Amino acid sequence: MTTALKAPPLDAILDDIVRSHRPQRETGSSPANIPFLATVPFDRFGIAVATASGQVFSSGDANVPFSIQSISKVFTLAMALAGDDSGTLWSRVLREPSGTSFNSLVQLEVEHGIPRNPFINAGALVVTDHLMEETSDAATQLLRFLTAQAGSTGPFIDEAAAAGELASSSRNLALAHFLKDFGNLKRPAESVVENYVRQCSINMTCVELAKAGLFLA
């Protein structure tokens, strides 16, 4: 006779993950290329899981807001695809691995302004430009979407952080101007980069992000 094994509670698993990674917290470092991120304590670690049944499990610094940065690319792509009635988005950005740095200028020039995928910076700028066909303030549109999906009024755009990041966005501006020169950007390069930076500067907690991502399940 065999007895089915009972799975341990998910919250206990998450607590164990946090405990096991605690020694590595002191080995990290904050990115220096974005000014405000350099001031964030690098030893923070949070994890959250939201299930389709509505349960939410979390551990560590899961309720501490942080700048979602490139996580925003997943949600902007979902929004862009939902509104892509003409089916033109995938003609402007591909679905292939890049094999180069996420902010490579060389690859974009060689491939005539068509980014390899929507998760490198050039591709994310094209997606933002696509969203701006509906509204000039794509960042606020994303904030509303995340707020609704998370069921929380907590998410917000850190405008001061966005301003600091924009001031150090020379590479993103270069990418945007490359895209514009190749005819793959419809809005002004500066406006697209500003919206993109503000999207990245949305602050949320791990718990809010887990809930917001449930629509993908």
Q: What percent of the chain has pLDDT over 90?
A: 79
What pLDDT does residue 154 have?
95
Tokens of 181: 């020169």
Q: Give the pLDDT confidence of 66-116 residue by residue, as tens digits.
A: 999 999 999 999 999 998 888 899 999 999 999 999 999 999 999 999 999
Specify the amino acid at residue 149: Q
Distance between CA atoms of residues 136 and 132, nearest Å: 5
Q: Give the pLDDT confidence of 11-69 residue by residue, as tens digits.
A: 899 999 999 988 887 777 777 778 888 888 888 899 999 998 889 999 999 999 999 99
Q: Is residue 86 part of a domain?
A: yes
Q: Is residue 103 part of a domain?
A: yes
Q: Is residue 6 part of a domain?
A: no
Q: Are 111 and 92 in contact (CB under 8 A)?
A: no
Q: Is residue 73 part of a domain?
A: yes
What pLDDT does residue 94 have?
97
Q: Are 187 and 129 in contact (CB under 8 A)?
A: yes
Q: Is residue 123 part of a domain?
A: yes
Average pLDDT over residues 180-199: 98
Q: Tell how strand 66-67 and strand 156-157 pair up.
A: unpaired
Q: Is residue 146 part of a domain?
A: yes
Name which of 82-86, 130-134, 197-201 the model is least confident about.
82-86
Identify the bridge partners of residue 50 per DSSP, sorted by sequence position. 56
Q: How does DSSP classify residue 62?
A: T
Q: Is residue 77 part of a domain?
A: yes
Tokens of 157: 């755009």
Q: Are 155 and 140 in contact (CB under 8 A)?
A: no
If you count them, how many residues does the chain have?
Answer: 217
CA 38 centroid distance within chain: 18
Give the DSSP H/E element, type plus range, for residue 50: strand 46-50
Name which of 6-10, 43-47, 59-63, 189-193 the model is least confident about.
6-10
Three-class secondary structure of residue 161 per DSSP? helix
The CATH number of the domain where 124 resides is what?
3.40.710.10
What pLDDT does residue 110 have?
93
Given a cut of 70, is residue 2 above it in pLDDT? no
pTM of the model: 0.91
Q: 194 is in which domain, residue-wise? A: 66-202
Read off the pLDDT band of 7 (50, 70, 90). Answer: very low
Strand order of the β-sheet with 202-204 is 66-67, 202-204, 156-157
Distance between CA atoms of residues 125 and 172, nearest Å: 8
The residue assigned the tokens 């020039």 is: 109
Q: Is residue 52 part of a domain?
A: no
What's the half-sphere exposure (Cβ side, CA atoms, 13 Å) at 123? 25
Q: How many domains does the chain have?
A: 1
Round to the nearest angstrom and report the end-to-end CA distance of the chain: 36
